[in-house]
Amino acid sequence: MFFIKGCSDNAVVNNPGTSFVSVPASSFSSGYAVSWSALVYRVLSDQQPNPPKCARIYSYVSVAIYESVINGIPNGRSLSGQLLEMPAIPPADPGLKYDWPSVIAASVPKVLIASLDSLFPSSNVLINNLQQSQYDEREDSVGTEIFERSKLLGTTIADKIIEWKNTDKYTETRSMTYFPPPRTQNPAFWEPINPGDMALEPYWKLIRPFALDNFEAVAIHYPYTFDTIPGGPVYEEAIQVNSIAANLTEDQKQTAVYWNDKLRTATPTGHWFAIADQVMETMNLKLDRVSQVYAILGVTSRDAFIQCWKEKYDKNFLRPETYIRDYINKDFYAYIQTPSFPEYTSGHSTISGACAEVLTQMLGSFQFTDRTHVPLGYGERTYTNFHEAASEAGISRLYGGIHFNSGNVNGTETGKRIAQYVINRINLHTN
């Protein structure tokens, strides 16, 4: 088993020993957590929050899962005091019995609903149905007294996480206006391409991260000076995008579409959580272990989006579609729709590099099959390891014509650095 070790000395310890009388979390199936992760994917696929929002939602749900289970993990350590400004989470009474699946079933729906801007009636039905089915099963299993005590613990955990969530500056950024600086000021600047496009989450860098308190420690800044001359590095990168677009193979097209992660998906973060769900079920992991994986995956994906969006809007570099039309081929169109935010670095690449590193460190390096998009008719894909999948996700943006390759390569490496930063900072155990 991989143990996360960190440098934080001020964590609040919820479970200092093994004196709890409750059945340990390691005795329960991973399904009690994986089912909620799968439901989050379905809800977000229906409601379609943008990619940074999806990462934020997954991050709070992941913390809720972990904190709901922490008292059932011998020598487990809370994330309180380790994540930025996270308050102490109400602990379980070590002398009383709790049912950890019931704690999860009480906390996760409350945190999920509170993290959404709005809730579709159909999504509400899905959430209520899963919660009630788990409630019924667990009350029958452990009895009303333990069940009700566990529910109460779950709701108090959720309340504290929601209170923390409400101070992360998300609400403040909803009312902030942004006007992209014009390219007449600098030809290297990004500009919206499609009619009606507006800059997506230009102030996301203001959202409070969980663990990444030093952006420069992981950043790889844009390596080139803007140029429009044949032989210049930017020009040659644009030539590469234009050439690939003109000669796309069927496999490249399928790869671009597979990793597009837009309509009817839960965006890149959801795709990687879905991969984690599939792999952990195949490995037959228990509730304690999957909660730990979700915790680190949630923290990392959140912080990766914040760092990536800071880099995007700080650099404000134009998309290949703009550059190529202006300087190389006025008839160029990207194979997939160009998103409405700056180019560098690639969000897909950054998130994929980060999540692949987390899963490799926590679960290992091995072949796996991704069936996330089978319901969409894309079929399944098998990879040698998580990093191979991340590399494919990155190059898919080149095939799609929406990123220069430097944004993909450096994004993937930045994601790895963010994951390593998180892993080094967070300690899931007290020893």
- The answer to whether 342 and 259 have CB atoms below 8 angstroms apart is no
Note the pLDDT of residue 194: 87
Give me the residue spans of the domains in the chain. 25-171, 180-425
Q: How far is it, in rounded angstroms, from Cα 176 to Cα 54?
A: 20
Look up residue 362 and give its amino acid: M
pLDDT at position 410, please?
A: 98
- Which pair of tokens denotes residue 7? 């440098």
> Residue 430: its pLDDT value, please?
86
The pLDDT value recorded for residue 87 is: 97
CA 90 to CA 184: how far, in whole Å?
A: 55
Q: Is the preceding omega at residue 345 within 30 degrees of 0, hence cis? A: yes
Helix (H, G, I), strand (E, B) or coil at 401: coil
Distance CA 404, CA 346 (A): 9
What span, in angstroms and rounded, lies between the C-alpha atoms of 295 and 312? 26
CA distances to 60, 83, 159, 163, 229 from 88, rounded to whole Å, are: 15, 11, 12, 11, 57
> What pLDDT, on a 0 to 100 scale, did the predictor assign at position 7?
35
DSSP letter (8 states) at residue 375:
G
The rounded distance, in Å, linking the Cα atoms of 70 and 288 is 8
Read off the pTM: 0.95
Q: Which residue has the tokens 């009606």?
A: 196
The 10 Å Cβ neighbour count of residue 310 is: 19
Asked if domains 25-171 and 180-425 share a fold, the reply is no
Written as six digits, the tokens of 368 are 């796996």
- List per-block mean pLDDT (blocks of 10 residues) for the chain, which spans 431 residues: 33 45 96 98 97 98 98 96 97 96 98 97 98 98 98 98 98 96 97 93 98 97 97 98 98 98 96 98 97 98 98 98 98 97 98 98 98 96 98 98 98 98 96 73
Instruction: Give the H or E element holding residue 368.
Output: strand 368-370
SS3 171: helix
Q: Which helix (H) or strand (E) holds 381?
A: strand 381-383
Element (H, E) at 382: strand 381-383
Taking phi first (over 0 means left), then psi (-120 to 50 degrees means alpha), and beta for anything else, what does residue 366 get?
A: beta
**Residues 79, 84, 85: CA angle, nearest 5 degrees:** 95
| Confidence at residue 396, expressed as pLDDT on a 0 to 100 scale | 98
In the CATH hierarchy, which fold is given to the domain comprising 180-425?
Vanadium-containing Chloroperoxidase; domain 2 (1.10.606)
Largest Cα–Cα distance in the chain? Answer: 75
* DSSP element (H, E) containing 258: helix 250-258
CATH number of 25-171: 1.20.144
Q: Which two tokens stand for residue 9?
A: 């000395």
pLDDT, residue 356, reads 98
Task: Name 95's Cβ contacts closer than 8 Å, sequence gap at least 6.
Answer: 21
